[in-house]
């Protein structure tokens, strides 16, 4: 029997699945073994982390990612199958993208490190998979490790999924043990895709990547009908029509094909240059005799966290704008508009899906465009009802209305925290401090607990993850998703330096925390701002009411006592260095503030880490 | 250690005594610049190290057998010979022997160095010849020997009259010793006598400082240097401050003490002529003025800096390395810098502004920058000449900030 070709593959031999795993739990290594054991990559060309490495290599002018790999596989029953392994983006801010990847599959491998157990984010993605009615194949990886506790964690997984512990497959992706059994389980347990081959074409976009050479590469799962190369397609959310330049599959190199049929997974190239024109979750249909009803589940990406981004060197502003424009091509969720700060100069107000998204964007701007950036403290989006019945949306503390505020609403999230039971007390305390409401708590196993909290998003974006990690010695994991908004008693705290408001330091906080924010910020600035030739008061104020105050004493002596022959060179060099330092000073009224003081005052603790 | 050819090349002269002046050193060919020269001589020895001191000086224990003090005057004299070979015929009008503790070389050692200068250069008849001295290491007879040897000015490190302060500074002399030594120097005919004070030492009170200045005035000196204590990195004092054993000097206190010193000395007929130096009329140290005027001087000795015609260089720091270089007829220079136009401007402002005679307005890169400083009361136009700028009393305390703004 010939290997089934893309575009003419019987849906009954297709198995679409993804791997849900925490970072470091061995997803890439498992993918390597599956590439090898299905024979799609031979031993000679095999290398470690095969799929991960392709995106840096840019072979043949296309940025290949492991979004969806087609693995032809001959089962132990002698039949030929096509296994489509679909990648899921790995973190908390991209729940929506994850849900679309899952929606492209019928099954999911739940891959958990046998020495560590399940993490919060994996659990959250598992729940998403269950919501999408996916068949779950529970797998414990790294069973070859001496620290592996397969029995304990198999029981944990069984408890979570509700299956017998014996059904959990034991695998070592490193040695290959258990992988043949896993491939068989995929074939036998995951249902084949179902769809109407004769209906108008409907394909769901589950990823969309900008490539310098080819434009946007769109990854789709065909649900109904057939998509052929050279036809014209329509994006159902916008109605936009595009010419299909290429259709293909990745196996594991990109291979152009005549088309894609029901249940198949592959890529499309249309020549569009901006991922906004090819949005995750959207439905693609044929221009002629197209579908009238899109697939369910499309959502516009909505930024939830906002921050000002400013170049440290003001003359880098055009570079920052260009870098953002470029990044936008590959990031449908990033929004930004120019903003001016008295303290920081020209920059952009940027909106992100969440804190991690923000960190990723900032890191990419710094790394790929070589920019040095300052970001203001992140804030969330607030809805303010005024006395006269009008409504104001606030994404920047400077827009916060100062009078006639009737009610203020802030976004809240539903969070899941998994942690060793020893730390329950300290984490409850943290969540309480952060205005959290406990929704429930479950023991996953004897010593591991899942806690669910409702928390204001504003509290999460403000160093919550760092606090959680440090209070649990790194053992806790966190996941959250938006769950509406709540009315809160919020105020704007301004920081005044020598009587001038420093816009970059203004913050919207809960009234109960205004004082502590003011005291902390004033204290920090007192340490960070060098003494001037006059006394500089630092005040924290709500409106015109001062709630905290510090003073920077005037400098009275700034002269080197001794300057003789042997001191001159050293003294001149010191002076030249200080001159350079002066260039990095920003003037706030008459006060000279070093750039470093802004950076240090705006960094809460360390930057949030990736999960 | 034998110098590498590269090291040899960096020195103004190839050291063979009779070798010609190398072409690569055009900056100070004889006759190209000034005809005068100051000579500084560094004596890198102390009997014990004071906790606050970061000077290039060594105790006998630190040096061991590697360097002989008694022959060191000859090593220094050898560099004097090189200096003459390099800059050619110049009139030396000031000599300053500092340290360390120069008097550890004995009056004969110091005189031998002075003789070497006389032999290599023309020493001006009215030359100012200073040596620093530890009040402990001189008596009236030794002072008379120094005077007879040609020294005209002597400077004692008194630092303070308060025993507690001297203890924090690790000074070994008794409070009265400096005053006695200064008086003795006057008796044996020194024209100029200086006492050094350090103020702002942790534990010092206003009264301690008043008492110190009163003692200085009673000692009949014509010159006082008063320095704010600097806690230098790497000194035992810095370690004690870091460990919290001693409070760090406080800027407010320093500023008040400076003004106190200025009040007391001015009240007694002294005039400030440099930020940290006061004198009776005619008592200014001409050698030090040469530094602040960016004149030419040659620094002889380990770690000594020189400046001739816009070139600054400095010698290797360790006395043993220094002696080895000279023993091999090699240059003791460690490194150098040739000042560009911008650097000369910065230096001129930085140094000139420290002086009471002030700085010509025209020396500023942007003369208009003086205006805000005048407005804020840190600079004034000199009484004698409206085109010169002088620091006010407040300005003296903030001199470095003023200079930064003027040259920014």
Q: What is the mean pLDDT of chain A?
A: 88
- Residue B396: list chain A partners with CB under 8 A: 559
| Calpha distance B316→B328 (Å, rounded) | 14
Determine the pLDDT at residue A478. Answer: 87
Residue of A555, A572, A582 with shortest CB distance to B408: A582
Residue B10 has pLDDT above 80, yes or no: no
Portion of chain B with pLDDT greater than 90, in percent: 80
Confidence of residue A90 (pLDDT cuts 50, 70, 90): low
CB A493 within 8 A of CB A540: yes
Residue A585 has pLDDT above 90, yes or no: no
Vertex A70 angle, CA A65 and A71, to 5°: 125
The answer to whether B404 contacts A562, with C-beta atoms less than 8 Å apart, is no
Check if A580 contacts B (Cβ < 8 Å). no
User: Taking CA atoms, what residue in B is nearest to A565?
Assistant: B291
The answer to whether B398 contacts A559, with C-beta atoms less than 8 Å apart, is yes
- Residue B289: list chain A partners with CB under 8 A: none
Q: What is the dihedral of CA A427, A432, A437, A439, to 10 degrees?
A: 20
Instruction: Give the count of Cβ contacts less than 8 A between chain A and B.
Output: 91
Q: What is the mean pLDDT of chain B?
A: 89
Check if A558 contacts B (Cβ < 8 Å). yes
**CA separation (Å) from A577 to A581, B375, B408?**
6, 27, 11
Distance from the B67 Cα atom to the nearest Cα atom in chain A, whole angstroms:
23
Question: Mean pLDDT across the stretch A143-160?
Answer: 94
Confidence of residue A52 (pLDDT cuts 50, 70, 90): low
| Calpha distance A544→A533 (Å, rounded) | 27
Domains of chain B by start residue, with CATH: 7-292 (3.20.20.70), 341-407 (1.10.10)
Residue A113 has pLDDT above 50, yes or no: yes
Of A102-111, A491-500, B17-26, B315-324, the least confident: B17-26
CB B376 within 8 A of CB B344: no
Of A252-266, A388-402, B22-36, B284-298, the least confident: B22-36
Question: Which residues 6+ apart lie within 8 Å of B265 measured at CB?
Answer: B213, B217, B224, B226, B272, B278
Residue A48 has pLDDT above 60, yes or no: yes
Taking only the tens place, the pLDDT of each residue in B72-96 is 999 999 999 999 999 988 999 999 9
Determine the pLDDT at residue B384. Answer: 80
Determine the pLDDT at residue B136. Answer: 83
Residue of B251, B292, B314 with shortest CB distance to A557: B251
Question: Mean pLDDT across the stretch B237-249?
Answer: 92
Q: Which string of DSSP letters, residue by residue, matches A241-266?
A: EEE--EEEEESSSEEE-SEE-TT-EE
Residue of A559, A566, A579 with shortest CB distance to B408: A579
Confidence of residue B383 (pLDDT cuts 50, 70, 90): confident
CB A272 within 8 A of CB A242: yes
The answer to whether B407 contacts A560, with C-beta atoms less than 8 Å apart, is no
Check if A321 contacts B (Cβ < 8 Å). no
Confidence of residue B68 (pLDDT cuts 50, 70, 90): confident
Residue A491 has pLDDT above 80, yes or no: yes
The answer to whether B297 contacts A565, with C-beta atoms less than 8 Å apart, is yes
Taking only the tens place, the pLDDT of each residue in A272-313 is 888 888 888 999 999 999 999 999 888 888 888 899 999 988
Taking only the tens place, the pLDDT of each residue in A531-548 is 998 999 999 999 999 999
- Residue B261: list chain A partners with CB under 8 A: none
| Token pair 């003004």: residue | B259
Say what the pTM is.
0.65
Determine the pLDDT at residue A596. Answer: 78
The answer to whether B400 contacts A556, with C-beta atoms less than 8 Å apart, is no
Confidence of residue A367 (pLDDT cuts 50, 70, 90): confident
Selected residue of B276, B289, B300, B339 to mutate for chain A interface (largest A Cβ count, 10 A):
B276
Question: Mean pLDDT across the stretch B324-346?
Answer: 93
Confidence of residue B27 (pLDDT cuts 50, 70, 90): very low
Residue B7 has pLDDT above 70, yes or no: no
CB B28 within 8 A of CB B336: no
Question: Mean pLDDT across the stretch A257-264?
Answer: 95
Q: Which of A114, A94, A86 has its CA nearest to residue A17?
A: A86
- Residue B248: list chain A partners with CB under 8 A: none
Question: Which residues 6+ apart lie within 8 Å of A401 measured at CB?
Answer: A384, A386, A392, A394
**CA separation (Å) from B65 to A107, B49, B62, B69, B316?**
84, 18, 9, 10, 19
* CB contact burial A228-256 (16+ within 10 A = b; e otherwise): bbeeebbbbeeeeebebebbbbbbbbbee
Taking only the tens place, the pLDDT of each residue in B119-142 is 999 999 999 999 999 888 789 999
Determine the pLDDT at residue A252. Answer: 84
Residue A4 has pLDDT above 50, yes or no: yes
Residue of A533, A564, A566 with shortest CB distance to B288: A564
Question: Mean pLDDT across the stretch B290-313?
Answer: 95
Strand order in the sheet with B388-391: B359-360, B388-391, B379-381
Check if A439 contacts B (Cβ < 8 Å). no
Q: Which of B178, B166, B170 has its CA nearest to residue B136?
A: B178
CB atoms within 10 A of CB B26: 11
CB atoms within 10 A of CB B194: 27
Under DSSP, the state recorded for A608 is: P
User: Taking CA atoms, what residue in A is nearest to B289?
Assistant: A564
Determine the pLDDT at residue B33. Answer: 59
Residue of A556, A568, A582 with shortest CB distance to B404: A582
Of A203-212, A408-417, A573-582, the least confident: A573-582
Residue A174 has pLDDT above 60, yes or no: yes
Portion of chain A with pLDDT greater than 90, in percent: 60
Chain B residues with at least one Cβ partner in A under 8 Å: 40, 227-228, 230, 251-252, 254-255, 258, 275-276, 288, 291-292, 297, 299, 303-307, 312, 314, 337, 343, 346-347, 350-351, 354, 376, 396-401, 403-404, 407-408
Question: Mean pLDDT across the stretch B337-356?
Answer: 94
Determine the pLDDT at residue A66. Answer: 52
Distance from the B251 Cα atom to the nearest Cα atom in chain A, whole angstroms:
6
Distance of CA A611 to the CA centre of its chain: 9
Selected residue of B346, B348, B365 to mutate for chain A interface (largest A Cβ count, 10 A):
B346
Distance from the A355 Cα atom to the nearest Cα atom in chain B, whole angstroms:
40
Residue B337 has pLDDT above 70, yes or no: yes
> Residues for chain A: how many in total?
611
3-state class of A223 per DSSP?
A: strand
Check if A273 contacts B (Cβ < 8 Å). no
CB A590 within 8 A of CB A534: yes
The answer to whether B291 contacts A560, with C-beta atoms less than 8 Å apart, is no
Determine the pLDDT at residue B121. Answer: 96
Determine the pLDDT at residue A61. Answer: 35
Better-predicted residue by pLDDT, A430 or A4: A430
């Amino acid at each position: 029997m010939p290997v089934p070709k893309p575009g003419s593959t019987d849906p009954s031999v297709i198995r679409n699945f993804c791997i849900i795993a925490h970072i470091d739990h061995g997803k890439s290594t498992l993918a390597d073994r599956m590439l090898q054991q299905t024979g799609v990559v031979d031993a000679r060309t095999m290398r470690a982390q095969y799929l991960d490495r392709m995106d840096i290599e840019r072979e043949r002018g296309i940025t290949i990612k492991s979004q969806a790999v087609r693995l032809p596989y001959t089962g132990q029953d002698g039949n030929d199958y096509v296994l489509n392994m679909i990648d899921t983006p790995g973190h908390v801010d991209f729940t929506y993208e994850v849900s679309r990847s899952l929606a492209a599959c019928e099954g999911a491998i739940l891959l958990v490190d046998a020495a560590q157990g399940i993490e919060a984010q994996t659990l959250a993605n598992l729940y998403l998979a269950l919501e999408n009615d996916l068949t779950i194949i529970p797998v414990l990886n790294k069973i070859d490790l001496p620290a592996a506790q397969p029995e304990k964690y198999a029981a944990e997984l069984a408890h979570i999924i509700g299956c017998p512990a014996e059904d959990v497959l034991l695998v070592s992706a490193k040695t290959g043990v258990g992988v043949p059994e896993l491939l068989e389980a995929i074939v036998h347990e995951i249902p084949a895709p179902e769809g109407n081959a004769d209906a108008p074409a409907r394909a769901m976009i589950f990823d969309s990547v900008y490539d310098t050479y080819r434009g946007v590469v769109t990854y789709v799962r065909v649900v109904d009908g057939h998509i052929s190369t050279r036809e014209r397609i329509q994006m159902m959310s916008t109605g936009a029509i595009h010419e299909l330049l290429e259709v293909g599959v990745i196996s594991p190199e990109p291979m152009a094909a005549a088309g894609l049929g029901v249940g198949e997974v592959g890529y499309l190239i249309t020549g569009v240059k901006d991922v906004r024109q090819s949005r995750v979750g959207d439905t693609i249909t044929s221009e002629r005799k197209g579908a009238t009803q899109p697939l369910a589940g499309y959502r516009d990406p909505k930024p939830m966290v906002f921050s000002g981004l400013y170049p440290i060197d003001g003359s880098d502003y055009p570079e920052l704008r260009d870098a953002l424009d470029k990044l936008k091509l590959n990031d449908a969720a990033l929004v930004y508009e120019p903003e001016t700060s008295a303290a920081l100069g020209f920059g952009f107000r940027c909106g992100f899906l969440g804190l991690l998204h923000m960190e990723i964007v900032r890191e990419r701007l710094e790394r790929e465009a070589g920019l040095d950036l300052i970001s203001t403290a992140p804030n969330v989006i607030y809805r303010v009802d005024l006395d006269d019945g009008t409504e104001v949306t606030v994404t920047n503390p400077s827009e916060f209305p100062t009078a006639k505020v009737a009610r203020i609403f802030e976004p809240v999230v539903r969070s899941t925290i998994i942690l060793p039971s020893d730390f329950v007390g300290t984490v409850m305390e943290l969540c309480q401090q952060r205005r959290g409401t406990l929704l429930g708590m479950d023991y996953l196993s004897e010593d591991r607990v899942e806690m669910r909290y409702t928390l204001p998003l504003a509290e999460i974006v403000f160093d919550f993850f760092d606090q959680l990690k440090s209070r649990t010695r790194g053992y806790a994991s966190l996941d959250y998703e938006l769950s509406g908004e709540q009315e809160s008693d919020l105020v704007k705290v301004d920081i005044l330096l020598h009587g001038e408001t420093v816009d970059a330091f203004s913050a919207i906080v809960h009234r109960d925390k205004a004082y502590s924010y003011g005291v902390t910020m004033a204290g920090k600035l007192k340490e960070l701002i060098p003494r001037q030739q006059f006394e500089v008061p630092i005040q924290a104020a709500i409106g015109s009411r001062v709630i905290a105050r510090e003073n920077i004493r005037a400098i009275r002596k700034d002269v080197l006592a001794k300057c003789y022959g042997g001191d001159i060179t050293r003294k001149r060099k010191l002076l030249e260095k200080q001159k350079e330092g002066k260039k990095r000073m920003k003037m706030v009224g008459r006060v000279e503030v070093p750039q470093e003081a802004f950076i240090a005052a705006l960094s809460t603790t360390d930057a949030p880490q990736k999960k | 250690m034998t110098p590498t050819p590269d090291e040899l090349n960096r020195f103004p002269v190839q050291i063979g005594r009779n070798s010609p002046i190398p072409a690569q050193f055009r900056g100070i060919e004889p006759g190209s610049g000034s005809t005068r020269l100051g000579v500084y001589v560094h004596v890198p020895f102390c009997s014990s190290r004071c906790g606050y001191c970061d000077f290039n000086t060594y105790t006998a224990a630190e040096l061991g057998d590697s360097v002989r003090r008694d022959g060191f005057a000859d090593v220094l004299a050898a560099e004097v010979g090189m200096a003459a070979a390099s800059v050619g015929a110049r009139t030396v009008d000031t000599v300053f022997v500092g340290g360390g503790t120069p008097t550890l070389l004995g009056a004969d050692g110091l005189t031998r160095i002075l003789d070497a200068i006389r032999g290599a250069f023309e020493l001006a008849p009215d030359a100012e010849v200073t040596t620093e001295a530890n009040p402990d290491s001189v008596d009236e007879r030794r002072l008379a020997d120094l005077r007879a040897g040609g020294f005209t000015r002597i400077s004692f490190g008194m630092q303070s009259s308060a025993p507690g302060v001297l203890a924090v500074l690790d000074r070994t002399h008794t409070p009265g010793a400096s005053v006695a030594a200064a008086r003795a120097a006057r008796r044996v005919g020194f024209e100029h006598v200086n006492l050094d004070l350090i103020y702002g030492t942790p534990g010092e009170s206003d009264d301690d400082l008043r008492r110190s200045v009163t003692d200085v005035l009673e000692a009949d000196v014509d010159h006082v240097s008063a320095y704010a204590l600097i806690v230098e990195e790497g000194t035992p004092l810095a370690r004690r401050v870091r460990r919290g054993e001693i409070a760090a000097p406080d800027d407010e206190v320093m500023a008040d003490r400076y003004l106190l010193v200025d009040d007391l000395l001015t009240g007694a007929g002294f005039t400030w002529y440099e930020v940290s130096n006061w004198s009776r009329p005619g008592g200014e140290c001409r050698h030090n003025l040469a530094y602040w005027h960016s004149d030419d001087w040659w620094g002889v000795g380990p770690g000594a800096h020189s400046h001739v015609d816009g070139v600054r260089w400095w010698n290797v720091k360790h006395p043993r390395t220094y002696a080895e270089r000279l023993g091999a007829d090699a240059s003791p220079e460690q490194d150098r810098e040739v000042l560009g136009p911008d650097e000369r401007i910065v230096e001129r402002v930085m140094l000139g502004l420290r002086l009471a005679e002030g700085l010509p307005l025209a020396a500023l890169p942007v003369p208009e920058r003086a205006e805000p400083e005048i407005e804020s009361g840190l600079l004034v136009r000199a009484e004698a000449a409206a085109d010169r700028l002088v620091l006010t009393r407040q300005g003296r305390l903030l001199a470095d900030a003023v200079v930064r703004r003027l040259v920014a």
